[in-house]
Amino acid sequence: PRTFYLTRHGQSEYNLLGKIGGDSGLTPAGTEYARRLALFAKEYIANDAEEDPSTGEEVKTARPARLWTSTLRRTKETAQFIEHNTIHHTYDNGDTIAWMQFRPMARRNLDELYAGTCDGMTYKEIEKVYPDEFERRQRDKLAYRYPRGESYMDVTLRLEPLAQEMERTREPVLIVAHQGILRILYAYFMGLDRKEAPYVSIPLNNVIELTPHAYGCNEKRFCLMA
Ligand code: F6P
């Protein structure tokens, strides 16, 4: 079955400083995560493993797979070690096509929730400089819109076309994005209530595997940095 793999970027300079938003690069730990993600993609997503009935041995065949990042540095850097190779894929009807496995596609819809005038600040700084804003966000995180920025509702709307595209996609998709974005995609595919979405736990250093079935998704989480 088709499967989605969701992951945040590796630890960024801003994550380390507790700042939100921005366009910082990865820390050394973040780069290590990028290497481990590349290995995970190669060993776990890139191939179909089937048993050869005559020998009982496991045979691996390369399969088409997609790779989407946001347009921000930290997700592109997280995807940088994932190998993209041309593979040949044969459909059940015998047609064979050439396919660039994991060809990286940067998608603006996947950029993190934009915090407007608060972009680049820590939560502590926001609380100090804009105490009313901070309070309003605590009260209604879903509807709260940062000054000159976005709300989770705004993000939900801009992700809708992408979620629909995911539903139509037949190949596994590895998505390297951001906490706020992945909360919304996760809630959409798991059928969670909108109100819950802004609080879903999407930790760094983990890949979430979602396999859609009739009424929701099977979920598996892989922690790549113990
Ligand atoms: O701190 C990382 C981050 O991705 C920020 O860039 C973003 O504003 C935040 O998480 C979203 O989380 P929350 O909505 O809980 O503040």
138-150 per-position pLDDT tens digit: 999 999 999 999 9
HSE of 65, CA atoms in CB hemisphere, 13 A: 25
Helix axes 179-190, 152-168, angle to 10 degrees: 60
- In the chain, the DSSP E strands lie at 4-8, 47-51, 58-62, 66-69, 85-90, 96-101, 104-106, 173-177, 206-213, 216-223
- pLDDT given at position 33: 98
Ligand 1 pocket test, candidate residues 24, 127, 178, 179, most atoms within 8 A of CB:
179
Atom 7 of ligand 1, residue of closest alpha carbon: 20
Instruction: Kindly state if the Cβ of 30 falls inside 6 Å of ligand 1.
Output: no
Gap between the Cα atoms of 173 and 3, Å rounded:
7
Q: Is 21 in the pocket of ligand 1 (CB under 6 A)?
A: yes
Quick check: CB of 20 below 6 Å from ligand 1? yes
Q: Cβ contacts of residue 44 below 8 Å, gap of 6+?
A: 222
Instruction: Tell me the per-residue pLDDT of 125-136, one tens digit each, with 9 for 90 and over.
Output: 999 999 999 999
Residue labelled with tokens 């099977």: 218
Pairing between strand 58-62 and 47-51? antiparallel
Residues 63-106: tens digit of each pLDDT = 999 999 999 999 999 999 999 999 998 888 999 999 999 999 99
What would the pLDDT profile of 5-22 be if each residue is shown by its tens digit?
999 999 999 999 999 999
Per the CB < 8 A criterion, the answer to whether 193 and 126 are in contact is: no
- pLDDT category at 1 given cuts 50, 70, 90 is low
Say how far apart CA 20 and CA 134 lie, in whole Å. Answer: 14
- C-alpha torsion sign, points 162, 164, 169, 175: positive
